[in-house]
Amino acid sequence: MNKITIPDSFPNLPSSVKKIQKLFSSHEIDVPLLVNALKEEPLLSANILKLVNSPYYGLKGSVASIEHGVALLGVTVVRGIIMATVLKKSFPLDLSVYGISIEEFDKICILRTRFLKVWLKDENLDIQTLSSVAFLMESGKIITSNEIVKNQLSSDFLELWQKNSILKAEKEFFGSDSYEIASLLFEEWEFETSFVKLISNIQNPSTMEQKILHILCVAISVEGILEEKNITLAIELICEYGFDKEKFIKAIEALREESF
């Protein structure tokens, strides 16, 4: 039996963000229109510039303009930053039940998007969409951590996690893992069906894209960022799913040289 009920509804998107969200529904987004919309939202612009200037992007110079920030990140990663900003404003930010800070959470999101681009740069895949999902797929943990803390079950959750795994602990507490909960959130926020399906099936992947995200969430996670134990588990999945092991290892080495 679930210890905590998943919220019946999630916070609504602010009207200003809804307008920006509608821009992403177009197949070809109007970048100048997006930039102008962001300029009208100082908080969103500040968060975009803060993240693009973080050391985890490895840029040699600072980025001062929102135009430059959008150009460097790409519009779908910018979308991820926007939605993450809304989430952080909607819930108390306490991720201690997962053993990480908000800064570490941001680091995980950023490094996942960077790693994808290094790992799959020569592949015929929609890297921008995958990057957006990679940035947002841990969003469910903001929701679950808030519910766990609110219900004063932090020690119970930690004990179950240490005996089993985070995913099993989430399933025990909510009946769903945090990826499935994130998919419910983005469905309510009217994200594309394909986006929602990518997140909801990360732990039971059937498509190449879902398998890529599954590998990614093992390699860079709240339980470790490209540590040996994470890499070992990720390589097991690489072999199981039929991806190029050497290419994956080279991408890890390249990211470590840039970021660590």
CA 172-175-181 angle, to 5 degrees, is 120
**pTM for the full model?**
0.86
Q: Could you give the CA distance from residue 148 to residue 146 in angstroms, rounded to a whole number?
A: 6
What are the structural domains, with CATH classification, of the chain? 10-90 (no CATH), 94-260 (1.10.3210.10)
For residue 178, pLDDT over 80 is answered with: yes
Tens-place pLDDT, residues 110-169: 889 889 989 998 888 888 788 888 989 999 999 999 899 989 999 999 999 999 899 999
Which structure tokens are listed for 97? 């039940």
For residue 77, pLDDT over 70 is answered with: yes
Strand partners, 220: 225
Helix, strand, coil share of the chain (percent; to 5):
70, 0, 30
Tens-place pLDDT, residues 236-255: 999 999 999 999 999 999 88
For residue 56, pLDDT over 80 is answered with: no
